[in-house]
Amino acid sequence: MFSLVSCGILFLQRSFRYEHEHLAFSAKVDAGYLSRIENGRRNPPLPRIILKLATALDIDSVLLMMAAGYLKYDPVSNTKLTEEDIIIKIERSLMKKGT
């Protein structure tokens, strides 16, 4: 089953046109582990892995932390977020980058 974080990582990876192996190498995570996250066969990754992925994708780690369920509230507005809210925030972040 796909989780919001796996969908978010796949969406970002495709938006940036990263090959799977390139993202794994850039984030310094095992390609097999990344594949299991992407395919929903792993629980959400630990925060330290999310930080590595966010850095490799050049995106705010807060977005992936929210997608993984580690943050239930938007740290800026302190409001509870739905999955749809998180997806919208990820899309807006990409638009700001011009992707």
Looking at residue 29, what is its pLDDT?
93
> Mean pLDDT, 10 residues at a time, over the chain (99 residues)?
64 72 90 85 86 87 86 86 83 73
CA distance 15 to 47: 22
CA 34, 35, 37 angle in degrees (round to 5)?
65
Rounded to a whole number of angstroms, the CA Rg of the chain reads 13
Domains detected in the chain: 4-97 (1.10.260.40)
Looking at residue 77, what is its pLDDT?
86
Looking at residue 30, what is its pLDDT?
93
This prediction's pTM: 0.79
